[in-house]
Amino acid sequence: MKKMVAALVIVCFLGVAIAAFAADAAKPAPTSFDKEQAVGTKATCIVDGKEITVAATTLKSVHNGKVYYFDSAACKTAFDAAPAKFVK
């Protein structure tokens, strides 16, 4: 009986851990940052919503003290032309 209870506790713990991990993985990457991010950081393009991984060559803009990363030159151009359209 004790082994069955212990096994049930382990199964419940693993279920909670897996659910917590899945919830974290499901969260979208941020669209803005307070400072430039390290290479490898996940970000979301505020213009088209695509998730990107920051690289040394990733396009970025700073608006009102926030750093925004873009997945294409077209997205950066659209943002730079009218940031208020995208920043809520």
Q: pLDDT digit string (tens) for 23-62?
A: 556 789 999 999 999 999 999 999 999 999 999 999 999 9
Residue 53 to residues 30, 38, 42, 62, 70, Cα–Cα distance (Å): 11, 10, 5, 18, 10
**Contacts for 85 with CB less than 8 Å, ≥ 6 apart:** 78
Q: Is the model's pTM score more than 0.85?
A: no
- DSSP class of residue 50 equals -
Q: Residue 4 CA to chain centroid, in angstroms?
A: 40
Identify the bridge partners of residue 68 per DSSP, sorted by sequence position: 61
- Mean pLDDT score of the chain, rounded to an integer? 84
* DSSP H or E run through 9: helix 2-26
The number of beta carbons lying within 10 Å of the beta carbon of residue 43 is 24
